[in-house]
């Protein structure tokens, strides 16, 4: 009875004017604080996305094309270039993400231990994080090309008959040079995230599992891995999304054909024939759709991991 009376009284409760004014003031202040960031997102990102969508549909008024059509998508989907570039981009992103994640977890487990010079080793491990990707790509080009330092060193050591006999690691069909560059950059990035997760977990869970008779592999498989999996997954998604959408490293280190998907979009965009602008925007939107789908899958997996 008292509960019903309380509910009925709550229906007719009107907050005082001062409280309502305070609530509206807080909402206004929050809107003003988020306004600049939302303006950048809406104007630059969503505006650019909308413009790219219009141009992919053939709306190119600067060359006299104003009718909307799916001709650019039909051209891409009926030709082999899109599929070959897509497979190459998927191979680069999956290989670089997988290798860097495994190396990062191993490095984080090592750096978690107490040993002499640990601070210096950790500093050296993350030293290349601020180095731009383009600088690293030039380093890979100078080191691992068939006229680079590694080829000349192998020739001086009589390991090969000439620099041309050095394995093709740059401009090759398997994109080994591109993968090497991405692994070199992504490993410390993922490793720092995993190391922070390991330090926040502590050693109590492992000690409890060790007390119950779990060996080192079992402690990692059933204790540590489920705890660090959200951080590993988040870092892997970021690495995959970046490597899938970046064009400067594949442009510098990749072969001419087939090229990575972002390089294909770049070449369409810089083509002297402006009619290719629609294909360039269509490829860009396809890249955006794939990355957005990946983020959606990541959010679903995060929800499942969080509910456990």
Q: What gap in Å lies between CA 66 and CA 299, rounded to an integer?
A: 38
Q: What is the DSSP letter of 126?
A: T
Beta pairing partners, 65:
60
Nearest Cα neighbor of 294 from 37, 83, 93, 74 is: 93
Beta pairing partners, 60:
65
Digit-coded pLDDT (tens) for 290-303? 888 888 888 787 77
| Domains, the chain, ordered by start | 17-56 (no CATH), 76-307 (1.10.3720.10)
Question: What's the Rg (C-alpha) of the chain?
Answer: 27
Stretch among 22-36, 70-84, 87-101, 289-303 having the lowest mean pLDDT? 22-36
The confidence score (pLDDT) of residue 190 equals 92
Q: What gap in Å lies between CA 67 and CA 59, rounded to an integer?
A: 6
Instruction: Please provide residue 8's backbone torsions phi and psi, each rounded to the nearest 5 degrees.
Output: -65, -40
Digit-coded pLDDT (tens) for 155-200? 888 888 887 788 888 888 888 999 999 999 999 999 999 988 888 8
Tokens (6 digits) for 7: 């509910």
Q: Band of the pLDDT at 308, cuts 50, 70, 90? A: low
Q: Band of the pLDDT at 2, cuts 50, 70, 90? A: very low
């Amino acid at each position: 009875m008292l509960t019903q009376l309380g509910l009925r009284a709550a229906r007719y409760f009107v907050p005082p004017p001062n409280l309502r004014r305070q609530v509206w003031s807080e909402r206004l202040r929050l809107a003003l604080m988020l306004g600049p960031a939302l303006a950048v997102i809406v104007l630059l990102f969503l505006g650019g996305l909308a413009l790219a969508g219009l141009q992919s549909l053939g709306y190119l008024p600067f060359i006299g094309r104003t009718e909307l059509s799916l001709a650019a998508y039909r051209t891409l989907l009926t030709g082999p270039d899109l599929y070959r570039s897509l497979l190459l981009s998927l191979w680069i992103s999956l290989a670089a993400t997988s290798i860097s994640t495994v190396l990062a977890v191993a490095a984080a487990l090592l750096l978690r231990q107490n040993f002499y010079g640990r601070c210096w080793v950790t500093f050296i491990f993350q030293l290349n994080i601020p180095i731009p990707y383009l600088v690293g790509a030039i380093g890979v080009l100078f080191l691992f090309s068939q006229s680079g330092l590694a080829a000349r060193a192998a020739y001086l050591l009589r390991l090969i008959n000439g620099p041309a006999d050095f394995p093709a690691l740059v401009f090759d069909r398997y994109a080994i040079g591109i993968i090497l560059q991405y692994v070199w950059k992504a490993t410390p990035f993922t490793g720092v995230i995993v190391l922070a997760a390991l330090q926040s977990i502590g050693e109590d869970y492992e000690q409890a599992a060790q007390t119950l008779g779990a060996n080192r592999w079992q402690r990692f498989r059933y204790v540590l891995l489920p705890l660090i999996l959200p951080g590993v997954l988040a870092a892997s998604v970021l690495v995959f999304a970046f490597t899938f959408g970046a064009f400067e490293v594949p442009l510098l280190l990749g072969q001419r054909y087939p090229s990575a998907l972002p390089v294909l979009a770049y070449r369409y965009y810089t083509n002297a024939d402006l009619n290719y602008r629609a294909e360039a925007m269509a490829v860009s939107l396809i890249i955006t759709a794939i990355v957005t789908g990946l983020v959606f899958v990541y959010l679903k997996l995060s929800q499942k991991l969080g509910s456990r």
